[in-house]
Amino acid sequence: MGKFIFVTGGVLSSLGKGVTSASIGAILESMGYRITLQKLDPYLNVDPGTMNPYQHGEVYVTEDGAETDLDLGHYERFTNAVMTKDNNVTAGKVYFNVISRERKGDYLGATVQVIPHITEEIKTLIKKIAKDKDLIIVEVGGTVGDIEGLPFLEAIRQLSLELGRENAMFIHVTYVPYIKTAGELKTKPTQHSVKELRAIGIQPDAIICRADRDLPRGIKSKIALFSNVKEEAVISAPDLDYIYDLPNKFKEEGLDRLIAERLGLEERNADLSKWKKIVHILRTAERTVEVAVVGKYIELKDAYKSIMEALTHGGIANRVRVNIRWISSENLDTREILKANAILVPGGFGERGIKGKIEALRIGREEGKPTFGICLGMQLMAVEFARNVLGLEGANSTEFDPATPHPIIDLMEDQKNIDKMGGTMRLGAYPCKLVEGSKAREIYGKDLIHERHRHRYEFNNAYREPFEKAGVLFSGLSPDGRLVEIMELKDHPWYIGCQFHPEFKSKPFDPHPLFRSFIESALKWSSK
């Protein structure tokens, strides 16, 4: 088993602990270590799949079909680690396992308790992902001091003891606010949060300090003193223009050496040239394309995290800046749509905002503007086409109108018999065959792809023929031909909808082909 790095958070949430953990992973990977990451989430949902994006942000889907925390998206974008259902552990999953075992009689005679039964289960689930890895980064969700986080902190404390000093270290991410009126950075919240951590028996080995600026020497030494760590172990993590610059920043701060020294790793250089290159491209891009993203959760950008990142990656591939215009699908401002160089309609659930999305898609189709429909976005492309091109009045998805005369999007038989909501959608990677001569085939440059899904509804095959006659090409199909995975318009420069979520597979140094091509066509539109 490899060595563990436990990342905890203090003071407040939203400090970017996920990106921090991912960047630590990136550095260690660049030193040639086999790494993986795991997120521990203290809430009681078994997974975030049933949560509203407003509660939780995006639900990230792994190749093996787990609905997970969006931090796993950062892990996959920053590293080559492959995330699975085991890389996200929630309190719900832990309790579910323990209680199921209790019902089976596995603990006959015993009182089942948080310590040791819940903590043992947490430790087992952590150790499960450590196989064949040199270094395992385990991020504990929430903030130190939260009641529900306690069993997790207790579990990692116990585990570090079992593993031995050279095999486990703790990194605490905190916030150092700048108080304008005093003109000062304040260390007190960090002091308190480290104190809280030490009260439960965890002495951090490094403190990563989020702030709106770099920490001066004096502040670092103050934090070092109060937290009982060396001054070099106080790492400055200021706001950066680009999150992909964080691995570079951490190296500058000596985090690679610090970890190596603390865990007794051999001395290796962290080669961050690819991260430098990415940041250089982002920083020096001269042109900008404007992409209208039409969604209903736009107040919370985290709901579209992977989409945002994938668009940025598409920009990196074309050496342009991508500026997202967030458009509310509930009160669609058509002028904003017309101003943008391209339109993207992302996935979603429920009827709210459907009308606006359909209208945006109509504009994209009629104007010949690059238009990308993802999951629900593709389904609505089909609905829009049925209504406005085929003249099928009342055409809809049965998700929004179960009695529609034209169920263009509908449930397949297997989905009709499902009575539980959690984890029962079409989830994870499925193969898709691309049709020769299609745009999709040209963009991917191969015949067979695997993309990740998260939906219940599908294109209704009864309508394939009229669609095809009117200019739609179903350019991606499941290998048995039963499921429509991609649709495109023949007489349009770039009008592509996919039933899957390509955004989950895009990386900064490996931009997804669909996003690369989409931004390329947006660029063409902008220079028209």
Q: How far is the CB of 343 from ligand GLN (least distance, A)?
A: 16
Q: Which is nearer to ligand GLN, 73 or 348 (CB)?
A: 348
Q: How far is the CB of 503 from ligand GLN (least distance, A)?
A: 11
Helix (H) or strand (E) holding 58: none
CB of 53 to ligand GLN, least distance (A): 11
Nearest approach in angstroms of CB 389 to ligand GLN is: 22
User: What string marks each residue from 330 to 359 as x (binds ligand GLN by CB under 6 A) or -?
Assistant: -----------------xxx----------
| Terminal Cα distance for the chain, rounded | 57
Measure the CA angle with vertex 334, ends 294 and 377; round to 5°: 30
CB of 258 to ligand GLN, least distance (A): 41
**φ, ψ for residue 143, nearest 5 deg:** -125, 140
Contacts of ligand GLN in 382-421 (CB under 6 A): 399
The footprint of ligand GLN on residues 452-511 (CB under 6 A) is: 454-457
- Min. distance of Cβ 58 from ligand GLN in angstroms? 10
Residue 25 vs 348, nearer CB to ligand GLN: 348
Cβ contacts of 179 within 8 Å, gap of 6 or more: 185, 186
Q: Does residue number 154 form part of the binding site for ligand GLN (CB under 6 A)? A: no
User: From CA 84, how far away is CA 327, in angstroms rounded?
Assistant: 33
Binding residue for ligand GLN, selected from 234, 340, 376, 486, defined by CB under 6 A? 376
Q: Provide φ and ψ at 193, rounded to 5°.
A: -70, -35
Query: By CB neighbour count within 10 A (0-12 exposed, 13-18 middle, 19+ buried), where does 500 fall?
Result: buried
Report how many residues bind ligand GLN under the rule CB under 6 A. Answer: 10
Query: For residues 170 and 161, what is the distance between their CA atoms, to the nearest angstrom?
Result: 12
> If 0-12 CB within 10 Å is exposed, 13-18 middle and 19+ buried, where does residue 478 land?
middle
For ligand GLN, give the closer residue by CB, 139 or 399.
399
Q: What is the dihedral of CA 286, 516, 439, 435, to 10 degrees?
A: 170
Side-chain half-sphere exposure of 250, counting CA atoms within 13 A? 31
Question: Nearest Cα to 29, choosing from 135, 104, 115?
Answer: 135
Identify which of residues 94 and 360 has a Cβ nearer to ligand GLN in the complex. Answer: 360
- The DSSP code for 116 is I
Q: How far is the CB of 473 from ligand GLN (least distance, A)?
A: 21
Structure tokens at 142: 């929430």
Task: Between 289 and 425, name the residue whose CB sits nearer to ligand GLN.
Answer: 425
Of 10 and 348, which CB lies nearer to ligand GLN in the complex structure? Answer: 348
SS3 category, 416: helix
Q: Which is nearer to ligand GLN, 275 or 430 (CB)?
A: 430
For residues 61 and 453, the answer to whether their CB atoms sit within 8 Å is yes
Distances from the Cα of 473 to the Cα of 328, 463, 468, 488, 517, angstroms:
29, 12, 6, 5, 18
Token couple for 246: 């964080």
Q: Which residue has the tokens 């270590």?
A: 33
The nearest distance, CB 434 to ligand GLN, in angstroms, is 21
Question: What character string, x for contact with ligand GLN (CB under 6 A) and - otherwise, covers 430-459?
Answer: ------------------------xxxx--
- 513: cis peptide before it, omega within 30°? no
Scanning residues 57 to 116, which ones bind ligand GLN (CB under 6 A)? Answer: none
- Is residue 256 within 8 A of residue 250, CB to CB? The reply is yes
Active site residues: 375, 501, 503
Q: Which residue is nearest to ligand GLN (CB)?
A: 347
Residue 25 buriedness (CB in 10 A; 0-12 / 13-18 / 19+): buried
The helix (run of H) or strand (run of E) holding residue 127 is helix 119-128
Q: Which is nearer to ligand GLN, 255 or 477 (CB)?
A: 477
DSSP letter at 397 equals E
Closer CB to ligand GLN, residue 44 or residue 462?
A: 462
The two tokens of residue 236 are: 């400055």
At closest approach, how far in Å is the CB of 95 from ligand GLN? 28
Residues that bind ligand GLN (CB under 6 A): 347-349, 375-376, 399, 454-457
